[in-house]
């Protein structure tokens, strides 16, 4: 796999349901980021992993949102009791080290989440 | 704290004309600045980045940007627009840990 992949590409769910969004980063990349992009806006930071640990989760909007990266590669973003306002494109990015501001972040194509 | 403001949510130019997309930033530390392009239904692709090595940064597809500290700006330019440049463009500023703050984007339309 040459790039960051995300599954599913589209997810439609009903209000109140639980969803999981998956991100496969570029092999060997230590840092992994989740962003949320609402219609007409730029990506908004959610959480950043350095290896297996969440180094910065200050962007998670509330306790319905949770993310894990148990083996330091694949990450799953979990949303409980989904609300219509959660509808957005969820972007994942990875970078080689995450310890340098000049690291290039490589973005996946995103998962479009629609909550009915 | 850091923030980015992109002036103009929509920019329209004729093919062959100069492209100028504006970005102003705010950062409490020396900034690292990025421009990304996003084509419909695709992920963000890095165009160029400023890392304090040189104030004029050249990127892919003929784009370049100039860092002006006195104006807190990092405007993106291209001398001659091509139809394939039509896309959405995002300016971003990065924190030391790589967490990025993005502007709201500018949609570039190129008219034949």
Q: What is the per-residue pLDDT across A8-50, written as a single tens digit (0 to 9) for each?
A: 999 999 999 999 999 999 999 999 999 999 988 899 999 999 9
Integer Cα distance of A102 and A53 in angstroms: 21
Lowest mean pLDDT among A1-10, A104-113, B41-50, B90-99: B90-99
Contact: B96, A98; criterion CB under 8 Å: no
The alpha-carbon gap from B77 to the nearest alpha carbon of chain A, in Å, equals 20
Mutate to test the interface with A, among B45, B98, B100 (most CBs of A within 10 A): B98
* Residue of chain B whose Cα is closest to the Cα of A109: B43
- 3-state secondary structure labels for all residues of chain B: CEEEEEECCEEEEECCCCEEEEEEEEECCCCEEEEEEECCCCCEEEEEEECCCCCEEECHHHCEEEEEHHHCEEEEEECCCCHHHCEEEEEEEECCCCCEEECCCEEEEEEC
State the pLDDT at residue B52.
Answer: 78
Would an 8 Å CB–CB cutoff place B2 in contact with chain A? Answer: no
Would an 8 Å CB–CB cutoff place A53 in contact with chain B? Answer: no
* Residue of chain B whose Cα is closest to the Cα of A3: B43
Would you say residue B8 has pLDDT above 70?
yes
More reliable by pLDDT, A99 or B39:
B39
Backbone angles phi, psi at B58, to 5 degrees: -105, 140
State the pLDDT at residue A13.
Answer: 97
Least Cα distance to A32 among A46, A60, A16, A51 occurs for: A51
Three-state secondary structure call for residue A31: strand
Three-state secondary structure call for residue A89: strand
Q: What is the mean pLDDT of residues B37-52?
A: 88
- B4 neighbors B24 (Cβ within 8 angstroms): yes
Q: What is the mean pLDDT of residues B22-48?
A: 89
Least Cα distance to B47 among B6, B3, B87 occurs for: B87
Would you say residue A99 has pLDDT above 80?
no
Residues of B whose CB is below 8 A from A44: 102
- B93 neighbors B107 (Cβ within 8 angstroms): no
Residue whose structure tokens are 């997309």? B21
Contact: A48, B49; criterion CB under 8 Å: no
* Residue of chain B whose Cα is closest to the Cα of A96: B98
H or E segment and range at residue A91: strand A88-95
Integer Cα distance of A82 and A14 in angstroms: 7
Mutate to test the interface with A, among B51, B57, B97, B104 (most CBs of A within 10 A): B97
Three-state secondary structure call for residue A3: coil
Closest partner residue to A45 among B32, B96, B101, by Cβ? B101
Integer Cα distance of A94 and A103 in angstroms: 10
Q: Which of residues 97-116 of A touch B (CB under 8 A)?
A: 98-110
Residue whose structure tokens are 């969803």? A19
**CA end-to-end span of chain A:** 33
Contact: B98, A108; criterion CB under 8 Å: no
Contact: B98, A42; criterion CB under 8 Å: no
């Amino acid at each position: 796999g040459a790039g960051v992949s995300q599954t599913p590409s589209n997810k439609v769910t009903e209000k109140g349901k639980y969803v999981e969004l998956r991100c496969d980063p570029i092999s060997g990349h230590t840092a992994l980021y989740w962003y949320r992009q609402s219609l007409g806006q730029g990506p908004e930071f959610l959480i950043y992993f350095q290896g297996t640990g969440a180094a910065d989760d200050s962007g998670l909007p509330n306790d319905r949102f949770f993310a894990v990266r148990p083996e330091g590669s694949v990450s799953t973003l979990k949303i409980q009791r989904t609300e219509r306002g959660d509808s957005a494109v969820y972007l994942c990015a990875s970078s080689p080290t995450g310890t340098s501001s000049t690291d290039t972040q490589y973005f996946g194509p995103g998962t479009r989440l629609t909550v009915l | 704290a850091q923030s980015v403001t992109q002036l103009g949510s929509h920019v329209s130019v004729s093919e062959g004309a100069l492209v100028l997309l504006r970005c102003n930033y705010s950062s409490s530390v020396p900034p690292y600045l990025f421009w990304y392009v996003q084509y419909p239904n695709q992920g963000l692709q890095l165009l160029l980045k400023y890392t304090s090595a040189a104030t004029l940064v050249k990127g892919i597809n003929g784009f370049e940007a100039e860092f002006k500290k006195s104006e807190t700006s990092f405007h993106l330019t291209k001398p001659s627009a091509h139809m394939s440049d039509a896309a959405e463009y995002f300016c971003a500023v990065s924190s030391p840990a790589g967490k990025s703050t993005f502007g709201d984007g500018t949609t570039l339309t190129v008219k034949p």
